[in-house]
Structure 1
Amino acid sequence: MTGISGGGVMTERKKKYGGLRSGQTIAICLAGLATLWISSGAVTQTPDKGAEESRAARGDQKILVRVRESVSQVRQSYVTVFGRTEAVKKVNIAAETEGQVIARNIMKGAWIKKGQAILQIAMNDRGAHLSDAEAKFEYQRLAYASATKLSKKQFQSRIRVAEVLSNFESAKSELAEIRLDIHRTTVRAPINGYIETFPVGVGDYLQTGEIVATVVNLNPIRVVAHVSEREVTKLRVGDKARILLAEGVKREGEIKYVARIGEQETRTFRVEVWFSNSKKVIPEGLTAELKLKTARKHAHKVSPAVLTLNDEGIIGVKAVNKDKSVIFYPVQIMEDTNEGVWLIGLPPRLTIITVGQEFVQVGQTVRTSRDEVELKGNSTDFNSVKSAS
């Protein structure tokens, strides 16, 4: 009885709880199917007719852009290169005789004039050599004068006169040599300028040919730069050049030299532009920007704001043709000035889009308004383009 009773209880439990589990499973399946149905787009909503009509109206409306007629002008073309300032006159002063330095007559950095003494080398025994040379010279001078007189009276042979003359010339040469050596003991400035380097001091022993000082004259001064092989043939000696130095200092100079042999490693050519530096405030070694004249070209002056990029990332401008269709023209920037950007690569005459070029595509037909007339409803037109895009 107990077993039968237990079996009945188990049967009742299966009926009760087994049925509940089946209902839960069905509910879960139905919920999953509903989710798939909704996500698949089977459930539809009533369309917003107002939004569709608004989008249709915007699609039919042509975009309004502002345009300006542009005519090319002949413009001087320049090539821009960078160089550095360099003194035109710079002299290394070398000792022309040997000896010990006994005096420095000027300080490093001072301004000196041509011929002014810089330092003094000790005389040592040069004074004694001078006295000896002067005595020999005087003796040989008298001997030659006496021989000449005797020769005229035929008391002296011509050979003897020639021998005395040779001795006299030798004594004269020795005297000139010692005098020159004494003169060289005072080292003097060969040009006007500043003492840039002065490495020797009192007590130093100098050898002949040793550098004792460097003198620089900064007026005029030059900018040395290198131009490419494509541009060098366009430059002419005597042409004017623009110079831009540090802190916006501007100067105008003249091309004084264009190399005829290029650098083998860089294939560039040396160019020198000289300009006035009367106040001597521009030192050697400053970085300088040079604008060198090359050729005259037809160019358009526009605002930098009209520049745009196409899908390939090429810089250019957008314009409209006679059918009011948008055209893209690639350009090259010839010069950037405070008044505007000069562009080359454009037709001689065209209608440039000055406002709205970023909201229209190439080939699109647009409405136009002249640049001198203020656009009305401009923001509405552009906003509609943004919404459509």
Structure 2
Amino acid sequence: MRPSWVIAGIIGLGACAWIVSGQLPGRSGAVEVEATSTAPAERPPPLVRVDKVAAEPMVSNLILQGRTAADRKVEIRAETTGLIEEILVERGQWVTAGTPIVRVSTDDRQALLDEALAMLASQRIEFDAAQQLNERGYRAATQLAQVRAALDGAQAQVEIARIAVDNLTLVAPFDGTIQDRYVEVGDYVDFGDPIAQIVDLMPLRVIGQVSERYLGQIEVGAVGLARLVDGREVEGAISFVGSVADEFTRTYAVELEVENPDGRMIEGLTAELTLPIRQVLGHRVSPAVLSLAEDGTVGVKTVDADDRVVFNPVEILGGSDNTIWLGGLPASVKMIVVGQEFVMPGQKVRPVAATEVGGTDGGAG
């Protein structure tokens, strides 16, 4: 029995020694070193290309449909009665102010003018004589006043007769084109009868209608653009903004005045008006920088001062195929222009300036 007890004791001591050996410091360090050597290495933040984009003034435009119109259009009317004696212009002819249009028969009006001139000469002689007598004391002041009144009356009669003769010839009131003529030689005209129509196409007006929503944003003097139906484009200044709405459309007239030095643009052409309605600050970038949030919000990704990604919702103000204008951003941002698809908001990144890698992809030149 004694040898068995000794063997059992030896086995028990060996077991205790093995258990204790697992708690020794040297052994623990080996385990930790082994664990550390098998752990994966931490990945560095991803690289993204950024471009510093600053806000710029951007003008928003309003597109309207319109038509061209003459700057002035006047019907020349008869200022006397009589027969049309002579036609001096043709339809479509360009004339300067004061050019004779038609001439009405003189009848007795020239004779009445000659009579008035003769009476004026007689009254002037009588007045000169009366004035000399008055200065010598042979004519009373009241008598001199009567002679002066007669002289003034004769002068007035001359003016009336001269106006009647002048009215026989109707002239162009301004430079323009004779659009139409309503009389022929031999026609009888009375006071106010239409004789001809003259239009002034230099400058030309382009008229559109604007809703009350934009009325307060259009300023007289602002530069706009008119694109005619034949493809011509002309610039001009807004010359008029209406203050009374159209009875049927409830819109307001707006007019763009454009130069027409050769008169080739005529009245009645269909035109598309592009008018500036406001100036805002926006960021001009490539459409490629746009991103979508999980909820479908359109925005761009930028990098903050801690090199973390920030998603910024934006408003698209306008643009073309190659450039867009964005609103809703701070005045200056570090915009991610390459790599924005692979990073998430809040993620740490390593930004690299676009200029350091051969140019910018996000800004617009």
Which residues of 2 match residues 306-317 of structure 1 at below 5 A?
A: 317=298
Partner of 1:77: 59
Q: CA deviation at 1:184?
A: 1.3
Greater per-residue helix proportion: 1
Distance 1:129 1:320, change over 3 A: closer
2:219 partner amino acid: R
Question: C-alpha separation between the residues in 1 aligned to 2:79 and 2:103?
Answer: 12
Counterpart among 279, 291, 296 of residue 275 in structure 2: 291
1:281 and 1:93 mapped to 2: Cα distance?
24
Residue 175 in structure 1 maps to residue 144 in structure 2:
no
| Structure 2 Cα separation of the partners of residues 96 and 85 of structure 1 | 31
Cα offset, 1:213, TM superposition: 1.8
Q: Which residue of 2 aligns with 1:280?
A: 263
Using the TM superposition, give the Cα deviation of residue 107 of structure 1 relative to its aligned residue in structure 2, in angstroms: 0.4
Q: Is the 8 A contact 2:100 2:171 kept in 1?
A: yes
Q: Aligned partners of 2:290 and 2:71: how far apart in 1?
A: 45
Deviations 1:254-297 (A, max 9, x none): 223334x2416455443332222112111122223222241223
Q: Is residue 314–residue 327 contact of structure 2 (8 Å, CA) maintained in 1?
A: no
Q: Secondary structure at the match of 1:120?
A: strand
Deviations 1:86-131 (Å, cap 9, x if unpaired)? 2223333222222211111110001111111111111011122122
SS of the aligned residue for 1:234 comes to: coil
Q: In structure 2, what residue type is equivalent to 1:288?
A: E
Q: Secondary structure at the match of 1:223?
A: strand
Q: What TM-score comes out, normalization by structure 2 length?
A: 0.65
Letter in 1 for 2:131: T
Per the TM alignment, residue 182 of structure 1 is displaced from its structure 2 partner at its CA by 0.5
Partner SS, residue 213 of structure 1: strand
Change in 2 beyond 3 A, CA 1:111/1:354:
farther
| 1:222, distance to aligned residue in structure 2 (A) | 2.2
Q: How does 1:1-389 map to 2 (within 5 A)?
A: 73-82=55-64, 83-259=66-242, 261-263=243-245, 265=247, 266-286=249-269, 287-303=271-287, 317=298, 331-332=315-316, 334-337=317-320, 339-344=322-327
Task: Return the alpha-carbon distance in structure 2 between the equivalents of residues 264 and 168 of structure 1.
Answer: 56
Q: CA deviation at 1:300?
A: 4.9
* SS of residue paired to 1:208: coil
Deviates more, 1:170-179 or 1:93-102: 93-102
> What residue is the counterpart of 1:44 in the other structure?
none
Identify if the C-alpha distance between structure 1 residues 298 and 189 changes in structure 2 by more than 3 Å, giving closer, same or farther.
same
Structure 1: runs of 5 or more not aligned: 1-66, 357-362, 364-371, 373-389
Tell me how far apart the structure 1 counterparts of residues 322 and 82 of structure 2 sit (CA, whole Å). 65
Q: Is the 8 A contact 2:75 2:194 kept in 1?
A: yes
SS at the partner of 2:239?
A: strand
CA gap 1:249/1:70 in 2 versus in 1, 3 angstroms = farther
CA contact (8 A) 2:214 2:277 kept: no
- For 1:307 and 1:281, the matched residues in 2 are separated by 49
| Aligned CA-pair RMSD | 4.0
Contact 1:99–1:206 (CA under 8 A) maintained in structure 2: yes
- What letter corresponds to residue 76 of structure 1 in structure 2? M
The amino acid across from 2:278 in the alignment is T
Q: How many residues align?
A: 293
Instruction: Say which SS state the counterpart of residue 156 (structure 1) adopts.
Output: coil
Q: Deviations along 1:277-332, whole A, 9 cap, x unmatched?
A: 11211112222322224122324544599899x99xx9x7476799xx9x996855
Q: Given that residues 291 and 340 in structure 2 are in contact (C-alpha distance below 8 angstroms), is that contact kept between their aligned partners in structure 1?
A: no
Query: Partners in 1 of 2:90 and 2:141 — Cα distance?
Result: 59
* Structure 1, 153-162 or 182-191: larger mean CA deviation: 153-162
Contact in 1 for aligned 2:289/2:337 (Cα 8 Å) = no
Amino acid at match of 2:220: V
- CA pair 71-317 structure 1, distance change in 2 beyond 3 A: farther
TM-score (norm 1): 0.62
